[in-house]
Structure 1
Amino acid sequence: MTGPRIPSFRNRHALVVHPDDNDRRLLDSRLRRLGLVVHCHENTPPVLVASHADVVFFDVDTGIDSPFEGLAPSVRLIALVGAETPGRLEWMLSQKPGAWLMKPIRSSGVYTALAMAFHRLEQQHDTERYVERLRLRARHRDPVEAAIVQIMHQNNCSEQEAFSSLRKVAMDTRSSLITLSKSILADDLPAPQQDLLRREG
């Protein structure tokens, strides 16, 4: 069983939003050594600029309200933390960063923060895709259940028999369960399929 793979960061674009000081220079140097293309800004740039980055490092100490609102969902955020005050940390958490680095910045930890931010965003996207599949399944389940109940009444059969009948007709007619169920509920089922359901039931 294989675990998560760390992606290559070479030629990825990093945006560093931080005052021009030793922390920013050290971070800039370390990111470049890892192969990233680095862009530095004193203040939060327009969202359009930030959205072109693969990862944004932002300073918690000088942060303003919702600087990355409207940012593309593919951009990873990494917080640069100096003062560990409740107010600053609450603000940082509200930005939903994928990782953080404590200041003063050192060479160690930058690679780990990048790996964590990229991994967490991928996890988030996996979760969102899974939830969407569940939503679609839930939306489509009701017509199937309603069609099964109708077949049970029409054919005087059990739920299992009704479902087996529905599935067999769907396979024989190369229809999806959803499409077939909706046709049954709309009383719009072609006569041959009605006959099939009666025979299967």
Structure 2
Amino acid sequence: MRRRLSIPNLGGARAAILHRPHANVTALVRQLQAVGLEVDCHWPDLPASARAVDYLFIDVDTAYDDQFPWQPGEAPMPTIALIGSEAPGRIEWLMNFGVDAQILKPVGDNGVYSALLIARATFDARMGLTGEIDSLRRRLGQRQTVVQAVALLAARGKSEDEAYEQLRGMAMAWRVSFEEAAARIVGSANTSSEGGCEHV
């Protein structure tokens, strides 16, 4: 079942703007303060302390990778692009950088509130998917470790079912998870082979 999204409380949130001094920045700051955000403006570089803000606005027309204290696609907060130019090179940079919402320039008297909400929802969904993918990769790695452990135990003349049951018994005896027991057996076998020993 799809999780229902809710509107976050923006009061007290912090935003950073990476944009040269301009009327667009003045309009943006005015809108952000009106919905309760604290705002810091930076140019030409974003300090490492900006990692702690809740939202980041960037000027896509002039932005470049070295302005940010992280790699493209790894912004630790929802990012909103301020776009004035639709030049292919700028749009390509924007796609590679990875943003969660956008506002077209010139910035007027509205549009910031909805951009904040969309950026937060998009960022949270992306982080959730990243977490799920990491979890699936870990589980896949654990399954491969279990297969290796069973193969090591079966190499001693046991059937696959007997080796599997032996692994289960070891996990219970050691009071660890099935996967942890498998990792111990595989790790022990790797250490033994490096040391020239034969036992697991």
Question: Contact conserved, 2:20 with 2:44, CA < 8 A, in 1?
Answer: no
Tell me, in whole angstroms, the C-alpha distance in 2 between the residues paired with 1:23 and 1:184. Answer: 61
Tell me, in whole angstroms, the C-alpha distance in 2 between the residues paired with 1:147 and 1:178. Answer: 9
TM-score by length of 2: 0.74
Structure 2 stretches of 5 or more lacking a match?
190-200
Count of matched residue pairs: 184
Aligned to 1:39: 40
Residues 19-53 of structure 1 deviation map (CA, whole Å, 9 limit, x = unaligned): 43332222111111111001223x23343243232
Tell me, in whole angstroms, the C-alpha distance in 1 between the residues paired with 2:104 and 2:63. Answer: 15
Q: Does 1:21 align with 2:10?
A: no
Q: 1:183: Cα distance to partner?
A: 5.6
Cα 1:61–1:169 shift into 2, 3 Å: closer
Tell me, in whole angstroms, the C-alpha distance in 2 between the residues paired with 1:175 and 1:17. Answer: 49
Q: 1:181: Cα distance to partner?
A: 3.2
Tell me, in whole angstroms, the C-alpha distance in 2 between the residues paired with 1:27 and 1:183. Answer: 56
Question: What's the % identity of the aligned pairs?
Answer: 30
Bigger Rg, structure 1 or 2: 1
Tell me, in whole angstroms, the C-alpha distance in 2 between the residues paired with 1:85 and 1:183. Answer: 55
Structure 1 stretches of 5 or more lacking a match?
188-201
Cα 1:46–1:171 shift into 2, 3 Å: same
Cα 1:163–1:74 shift into 2, 3 Å: same
TM-score by length of 1: 0.73
Tell me, in whole angstroms, the C-alpha distance in 2 between the residues paired with 1:92 and 1:143. Answer: 40
